[in-house]
Amino acid sequence: MDAICDDEPVDVDAANRSAVLVGCGSAAIGAAALLAPKWINELLGMSNDLAMRALGVADLVLVPGLIGGRQRWRWIAARAALNVAIVGVFLRSRSGASTPSRPLAAAVGLAIVTVGDLRVGRALYAARG
């Protein structure tokens, strides 16, 4: 198992690079959700443009901390918490979705990504010194 354990050395540089990549992904997804909510909603089979814009703004708020913030583990933790909220929005949107499997697939994919984010956050937290 490759889980980060207390006695394993932590590659802080790799964890910081991962946090920056998470920030770049959040910037791209957040901008798309904010600026093109109809397109994202169509992609996901959903129809709530206001909610999609709000998710975009929430994504974008985290970007500076993920890319250049101090104590990035806190920003990764916030990203993971936001992901959980977004998963909830996707699951709740299934009932009104034109294709209910799309928001479900997005929720599952985001949950998987969140596990990776949490691993990065744990590595950064362990190395905080």
> What distance in Å separates the CA atoms of residue 104 and residue 118, rounded to the nearest whole number?
21
Spell out a b/e string for 58-68, using b for 16 or more CB atoms within 10 Å of the CB, else e: bbbebbebbbe
Question: Which of 11-15, 92-96, 117-121 shows the lowest per-residue confidence on average (mean pLDDT)?
Answer: 92-96
Q: What's the pLDDT tens digit per position in 76-92?
A: 999 999 999 999 999 98
Which pair of tokens denotes residue 3?
A: 């889980």
Angle subtended at Cα 1 by Cα 116 and Cα 108, rounded to the nearest 5 degrees? 35
pLDDT of residue 5: 47
Which of 29-43, 97-111, 115-129: highest mean pLDDT?
Answer: 29-43
Structural contact between residues 85 and 123, judged by C-beta atoms closer than 8 angstroms: no
Residue 96: count of CB within 10 angstroms of its CB: 12
Full-model pTM:
0.85
The rounded mean pLDDT for the chain is: 89
Which residues have a Cβ under 8 Å from the Cβ of 99 and sit 6 or more positions away? Answer: 45
Which structure tokens are listed for 104?
A: 């479900």
| Per-residue buried b or exposed e for 5-28, using 16+ beta carbons within 10 Å of the residue's own CB | eeeeebeeeebeebbeebbebbbe
Question: Residue 110 pLDDT more than 70?
Answer: yes
